[in-house]
Amino acid sequence: MRLLLSLLLVVLSLPVQAALPLDRLTLPPGFHIAVYADQVPNAREIALGAKGTVFVGSNSAGKVYALTDANGDGVAEKTRVIASGLQLPVGVAFKGGDLYVSAVSRIYVLRDIENHLDDPPKPALVTDKLPTETHHGWKFIAFGPDGKLYVPIGAPCNICDPAPAHGKLIRMNPDGSGWEDVARGIRNTVGFDWQPGSKRLWFTDNGRDLLGDDVPSDELNEITRPGEHFGYPYCHQGDILDPEFGKGHSCKDYVPPVLKLGAHVASLGMRFYEGKQFPASYKGAIIVAEHGSWNRTKKSGYRVMTARLNGSKVVSYEPLITGFEQDESAWGRPADVQPLPDGSLLVSDDLAGVVYRVTYKP
């Protein structure tokens, strides 16, 4: 009897996650959202393995997760921790059976990971030569069509002139060699993807703080040639000179954003949607996770958006998911988006520690 009582007390003492208020979320007609996995603390960037494994990085949790949906019912029945004790391992990128993980100044790789989910290998070091600052030091990473690993190096500050070591996007070979600058004048990008067809790289960038509630805007940018400069810290949102660092500069000398996303919305992960499940109007569109403001009188962001394109021009920017914040109180913060092969869409939420799955059925 005492043993049963002891076991009962242990069970009762375990943390119980409150039911998520998914009924508060609003999506366009025909769209549905459900929980894919709910034990993913600080869920950030998502990457897909060749065998269907969903890999998720984290921020302060210091962990990398592997989610598996073996029976194909749209819910991950198993969540494994495949790496832990890492420094802000936000970024995950899969290539050739291996999972690459960012950890501020380091990139690691877990070899042949999908064949070792239950006995994951020790992360092997790819490079430890990246800057050590943790201010904007977490990194969204991805492999490009050229087979190279793209890695952002954010500004180590709110506003400063960090060139040439910071404020840029670089690429390297999978073994950590052959570093090249791709673009400069970037404050902090935590999401980028390549447009199908043109193969041009598009990225979100977070605007600086402490210029007021409504300026500057976060940006959606397109790189049309290597080495372009997108303005930071001299020019913000393509048309506002910085009060301190803008002196002697002209915004005309820098690449303006394709779209202003709004002030302090904290635009993070973004992907092009090429699936067939969503309506045809979503084909080729960019899905953007807006993490949400922390420094605004009235909150902004806290939603997932759709940017429809005509070539390199954005023709609309409309909500896909809203309702993570009501009455100035947020219970969820979208961090990344990732289409699945069946055309559904995963959305990570680092506040709720959840990955959602969005489907369409009219």
User: What is the model's pLDDT at position 3?
Assistant: 40
CA separation for the pair 230, 198 (Å, rounded): 20
CB 55 within 8 A of CB 64: yes
User: What is the model's pLDDT at position 333?
Assistant: 98
CA separation for the pair 127, 110 (Å, rounded): 13
CA separation for the pair 278, 343 (Å, rounded): 7
Measured over the CA atoms of residue 184, residue 186, residue 189 and residue 193, the dihedral's sign is negative
CB 80 within 8 A of CB 65: yes
- Rama region for 167: left / alpha / beta (φ>0; ψ in -120 to 50; rest): left
β-pairing verdict for 303-310 and 180-184:
unpaired
Alpha carbon distance, N-terminus to C-terminus of the chain: 54
Q: What are phi and psi of 124, to 5 degrees?
A: -95, 140
Sheet containing 180-184, strands listed edge to edge, beginning at the edge strand earlier in sequence = 142-143, 149-153, 168-172, 180-184, 228-229
CA separation for the pair 97, 181 (Å, rounded): 26
Nearest one of 53, 39, 142 to 93, comparing CA atoms: 142
User: What is the model's pLDDT at position 162?
Assistant: 87
Q: What are phi and psi of 343, to 5 degrees?
A: 90, -5
User: What is the model's pLDDT at position 18?
Assistant: 61
9 contacts: CB under 8 Å, gap ≥ 6 = none
Largest interatomic CA distance in the chain: 80
Number of H helices, E strands in the chain: 1, 29
Q: Is 306 helix (H, G, I), strand (E, B) or coil?
A: strand
Give the pair of three-digit tokens for residue 211.
Answer: 């210029």
340 contacts: CB under 8 Å, gap ≥ 6 = 48, 275, 346, 357
On the 0-12 / 13-18 / 19+ scale of CB atoms within 10 A, 362 is exposed
CB 61 within 8 A of CB 68: no
Domains detected in the chain: 31-39+131-360 (2.120.10.30)
Give the model confidence (pLDDT) of 49-76 as tens digits: 999 999 999 999 999 999 999 999 999 9
Q: 78-86 long-range CB contacts below 8 Å, 24 or more apart?
A: 79/37, 79/39, 79/40, 80/117, 80/118, 80/120, 82/55, 82/110, 82/113, 82/117, 82/120, 83/108, 83/110, 83/120, 83/123, 86/62, 86/123
For the chain, which ranges sit under pLDDT 50?
1-16
User: What is the model's pLDDT at position 5?
Assistant: 42
